Amino acid sequence: MTQKTNVRIRPKETEHEIDDKGFFVRQKNHFTTPFGEGEGKLPVEAGRYRLIWAKGCHWSNRASIVRELLGLEDVISINLVGHGKHEVNLGWEFVYDDNNTDPVLGEQFLSTLYANGDPEYKGRPTVPAVVDITTQKVVNNDYVWLTNYLENEFAPFHKEGAPDLYPAELRTEIDKYNDYLFDNVNNGVYKAMFAQSLEAYNDAFNHLYAAFDAIEERLESRRFLFGDYVTDSDVRLFVTLARFDTYYFKNLGPIRNRIVDFKNIWGYARDLYQIPAFKNNTYLRDLAKSNGNKETIFIDYNTRFWNEIDFDGLWSEPQNRQDKSADPQNKFRAQK
């Protein structure tokens, strides 16, 4: 393969995002221009943008779920990236397409689209990445707010009866809780997995399980995090839960509990999984697939058994979460 000049080798988190005490400090999002009306914002238009995401990345998975929940499939196109086999790590690649090339954007690597957006960008090309099809530039990779833009700014394009995932009266509380989830759960697992000192690992581990304990208690009396209906926060928590027992566990060391060991959290996760947009965008078997070396004596659990486990069956087992709701037949409140 002839490497193009704007295809970059992917920087390693453990070399570029670790502080002097061994703590993982995630790189800041680079393309953060918001969507909306007015000068300095990205125009909200149907057909202009393409959402790039990856099966294994929960930051991007939540955007793909919300896109489908809101009925934006014909408004924002989508494509998946993965990892190709090269002598060096060239980052996200359109490995599922013919010739490993996105059919709309005509590119092989996500890093090229990042370079189009900013030739001086030196960080990791991450997903989700929203690409402006008209310019072939990444214009937004701000996973912190992307689902909120889809829920709010793209509201004129929502399907009829779309769920209200970001109710106006709860937005302050949802934003605050999302920050809590980010620090302790969503990014918490990565803080533990990328920790380069025992101090950093123990700190991340303890905060992660303290959060799980608090969430388990919260879900004792509520069907979802904010009561009877699914909100943006539930999407953010679900994507981490879906990866915990399938993949994260093997990089976390001696874990205290699996997700299946939390009665309320496990029932809650299965309740969400029954929603088509959640199931359609959650590739459990792909998440669990291992590239382990089968030639060694001790082979990791996923390499031995991932293809024998009925993930969909496990995640579809009955649960009685509807009993905690005053509106048990509905998981969503429709937009007004």
Residues annotated catalytic, as ranges: 57, 190
Judging by beta carbons within 10 Å of its beta carbon (0-12, 13-18, 19+), is residue 105 exposed, middle or buried?
A: buried
Cα–Cα separations (whole angstroms), residue 140 to 41, 76, 213, 302: 11, 13, 34, 34
- Cis peptide bond prior to 34, omega within 30° of 0: no
The tokens for 160 are: 């009829």
Q: Using an 8 Å Cβ cutoff, are 309 and 288 in contact? A: yes
Q: DSSP class of residue 50?
A: E
153 in Cβ contact with 72 (< 8 Å):
no
Beta carbons within 10 angstroms of residue 227's beta carbon: 16
Residue type, 146: L
Please check whether residue 120 is in contact with residue 50, taking contact to mean a CB–CB distance below 8 angstroms: no
User: b/e string for 194-222 if b means 16 or more Cβ within 10 A?
Assistant: bbeeeebbebbbebbbebbeebbebbeee
Token pair for 59: 């930051």
95: CB partners within 8 A, 6+ apart: 81, 82, 83, 84
Query: Residue for token digits 């533990």?
Result: 192
Burial of 145 (0-12, 13-18, 19+ CB in 10 A): middle
